[in-house]
A and B are shown apart, each in its own frame.
Chain A
């Protein structure tokens, strides 16, 4: 089930809300657990077993690690890491590994592609954060299985994040309050996320899909296409994060922000401080810093960066284009760190933004094309190589028919509009309620009449 579906909006959410607020405090976590399992089972009846297993296994091992000492503790910790990584590796990377072996060694090992359990990358990273923090003694062992299972399976952030570290939510498992103000703020955030997803991301996605399928493309067309995708992936993913954060608030949880207007970044380093913050901080805390971070020699630092970014790429998908995409960012970050940072600072802000934006858009070319060759062709088209012309009729047509959408998208991706909206909320709260109501109705109308409702971050 996805948030942007009519079943969720008109059946699941209202029923869960009513039951959740009617039951006494002691039953709120069990209600949330049952609802979350139902939510997941709606689309993944087979893999719900895997998710519940993951919760149970990590709960037991967490307790064991918490009570063990010395070598035994280390052995149990390693066992937990191995099993979690095996689950993730088997269900996500098995086909990719066999395919890679086949193409590298020119052999023909037959394999059967398994369907990817939705949200496996998100909930595995959550369980790993808990286990590692228990091992390091950073968090207390959760002895209540219901509470632990709620942390792993909680439907607002289960299938597309943000990746919530146990340390961030530990206290909220026992004690959380839903105030009318927070509930209202949660609804506001949810509606804004829904509008980002349904009204902006879906329409921008249609534009990019159309352009991607064209045989002959002009430079204008391909730039328009990749700009549309750049906006689509932001609204798609940040919209889903907004909905998750909003839903969390409505149930009394506070999740950390996952996006902070990434497209206003002036450098790639800044971009990754603003994009998918929960994933970047996970890799920083559990891979980069344990490897030594930047407090090591130059070459080890370079190794650390490249390892982290290769893994970041691989986390996004079992395909070489994602590995390339990750390493691309690793190399860019190293170039900025060792050569460009001081030079970039001297440039006007506008130029810095254009620099960052172009590199990010090139990154999305490889991200959106799982076929590496197709990605390279698209990239070549961007710079006129293999393009039909600089500007053609098709490009002008797509530009004219989508210019309003793209301009609205650009304004919504920048902080100005949001600041204005928050100011309006303080000055005239009823006006924002009316705007949110209108946006919600528009989303519903769109969902009823449109069949195109993809979700990019599902495959992760």
Chain B
């Protein structure tokens, strides 16, 4: 039995009390929208006569059920998208565990470091007020001239909680340098304004140079 025929069977059961409603009863268009037509006491007959397949079609044809189904499907898709997006955000910056010696080799071989001089623990202390022994490894290059603002710092932290302090210290250094050259060192200020700071996994990168983007690329290719 078709859904329409089934619904027609219900019409006499909807006892109409007013002339206006009687008019509505004759208008069969309401059949397409009224989910309430299916009263509970009608269900046994319905279930006996309809196969599961027919019932699925019938439910889909019911606008309210269809609306629910569409909303549910869209909501499931949206939640699935959110889960995938969060997973992607979470995993996209995952880094490999690379020894600092390998990063140093890659940087020195593949990057144009100009006149920069490799620094040691004292350099780290002097320029960034950092204690090198607290970190798993580091690489620091600074300029030998006070008018040259180029510098490179890569640190592998022992504990992710060190990142905040590192970031703070480097930003202070950058701020200090900007103040030093503010007003007269146009080129230096521009380089400092284009400084790159990257935090990835356990690695921290800070560079100031015309070639800083190349340095960053080499650094990222090492840890990815």
Contact = CB atoms under 8 A, between A and B. Distances in A.
Interface stretch (A108-116, A320-328, A361-369, A416-424): A108-116
A166 to B, nearest CB: 20
A451 B82 contact: no
B127 interface: no
Interface stretch (B84-92, B104-112, B147-155, B206-214): B84-92
Interface string B47-83: 0000000000000000000011001001100110110
A49 B74 CA distance: 17
A57 B201 contact: no
Main SS at interface, chain A:
helix
A112 B183 contact: no
A67 B75 CA distance: 15
A83 B160 contact: no
Contacts of A113: 160, 163-164, 199
Nearest to A99: B161
A83 B79 contact: yes
Nearest to A117: B89
A50 interface: yes
A55 to B, nearest CB: 11
B136 interface: no
A344 interface: no
Interface in A406-460: 449-452
B178 interface: yes
B193 to A, nearest CB: 7
B46 to A, nearest CB: 22
B86 A90 contact: yes
Interface string A44-78: 00100110010011001101100100001000100
Interface string B177-221: 011001100000100110000010100000000000000000000
B75 A60 contact: yes
B86 A213 contact: no
Given A60-B71, A60-B74, A112-B93, A451 B79 contact: no
B171 to A, nearest CB: 10
B185 to A, nearest CB: 12
Nearest to B175: A452
Contact of B193 (A63, A76, A451): A451
Interface string A193-228: 000000000000000000001000000000000000
A291 interface: no
Given A56-B78, A114-B90, A451-B189, A67 B67 contact: yes
Contacts of A331: none
Nearest to A86: B82
A57 B160 contact: no
Contacts of A87: 82
A451 B82 CA distance: 38
A114 B93 CA distance: 9
A110 B160 contact: yes
Interface in A68-106: 72, 76, 79, 83, 87, 90, 99
A431 to B, nearest CB: 33
B160 A49 contact: no
A110 B95 CA distance: 13
Nearest to B95: A112
Given A112-B160, A451-B193, A49 B71 contact: no
Interface of A: 46, 49-50, 53, 56-57, 60-61, 63-64, 67, 72, 76, 79, 83, 87, 90, 99, 110-114, 213, 449-452
5 contacts: A46-B89, A53-B82, A60-B75, A112-B160, A113-B164
